Amino acid sequence: MSSEKTINLTLKVWRQKGPTDAGKFQTIHAKDISVDCSFLEMLDIVNDEMARGDQDPVAFDHDCREGICGMCGAVVNGIAHGPQSETTLCQLHMRKFNNGDTIYVEPFRAKAFPIVKDLVVDRSAFDRIIAKGGFISAKTGGVPDANAIPISKVNSDLAMDAAGCIGCGACVAACPNASAMLFTSAKVSQLAVLPQGAVERTERVLNMVSQMDSEQFGNCSNHYECEAVCPKAIKVENIARMNREYLRASVVSRD
């Protein structure tokens, strides 16, 4: 952690004009960066200078900048979302770095996440997985009473923990096999432990896993790198639950 007020950094940022461009690292000197900046604000400052110098600024994804939307993300010095655990890139602050550091900034790399430009990747594969079963059947009509369906505290906690997933894709980025098991399992789990999720229970896991496979993510090897980088601390316990759900669904499914 830096004790200075401002630091100078050497950035090695991945630059790629478009999906078919080969791409390469660009060395950028970031000078007088306040340690109170977030990582994205640091990139803003760098970009501002590049734009003034008639250079193409570094493209990166962001939205809420308060760690809840899941839009931001890059691999910083080999770790998705950078060195601070349970923290999105937008919530990572420059006080975590030292004056003179060289920082590698790379996009999330996976075949299923094609690069759009520089650090921006297309994560719509996640949306297609959700569309295959990340929903429940609900009655239309009058508003039901609150707490009309009894749910145990344990299960409501498990569901809420799984629902913490913001879909940023860091799990895929960190997985040596670029597997999307942590994401998919969080989306399966949050419904699998609740009575509301019971109607589609069997088809949900079969369809979501099948979509996950066809997006060309890799297979889980149980390294648990995903859990280590997840900004929302989603647990691999969810992957185990999805494995159980899948085995069960494979046995009971009629088709």
Partner 1 sequence: MSLTRFTTSSIGRKQTMAITGLLLVGFLVSHLLGNFLIFAGYGDKYKHEQAKGLQQLLNKHSNAKQNVPTVNESKKNLAKINALLKSNPNLIESTDNSNIPLNTYALKLKELGPLLWIARLGLIVIFVLHMFMFMQTTLINKAARPIPYATVKDAGGSTTASKTMVYTGIILFGYILLHLADFTFNLFETTSVIDGVDEGLFGIVVNGFKNPIHTGLYVLAMFILGLHVSHAIQSACQTFGINHPKYNLLIKNSSNGIGIALALGYMSIPIFVLIKL
Among 178, 191, 192, 193, binds partner 1 (CB under 8 A): 178
Orientation of helix 181-192 relative to helix 124-131, angle to 10°: 30
Report yes or no: 11 and 103 within 8 Å, Cβ to Cβ. Answer: yes
Among 209, 211, 231, 232, binds partner 1 (CB under 8 A): 209
Residue 102, interface with ligand HEM (CB under 6 A)?
no
E strands in the chain: 6-15, 24-34, 75-76, 79-80, 102-106, 115-117, 120-121
Which is nearer to partner 1, 72 or 239 (by Cβ)? Answer: 239
Q: Whose structure tokens read 């895929």?
A: 172
Report yes or no: 15 and 23 within 8 Å, Cβ to Cβ. Answer: yes
Which is nearer to ligand HEM, 196 or 222 (by Cβ)? Answer: 222
Among 8, 85, 156, 221, binds ligand HEM (CB under 6 A): 221
* Residue span 58-77 as binding mask against partner 1, x where in contact by CB under 8 A, dash where not: -----------------x-x
Distance CA 144, CA 121 (A): 41
Residue 177, interface with partner 1 (CB under 8 A)?
yes
Report yes or no: 108 and 73 within 8 Å, Cβ to Cβ. Answer: yes
Region of residue 104 (phi > 0: left; psi between -120 and 50: alpha; otherwise: beta): beta
Residue 210, interface with ligand HEM (CB under 6 A)?
no
Q: Give residues in contact with partner 1 (CB under 8 A).
A: 12, 25, 75, 77-80, 85, 104, 106, 109-112, 174, 176-179, 181, 206, 209-210, 212-213, 216-229, 236-237, 239-247, 250-253, 255
Q: Give residues in contact with ligand HEM (CB under 6 A).
A: 219, 221-222
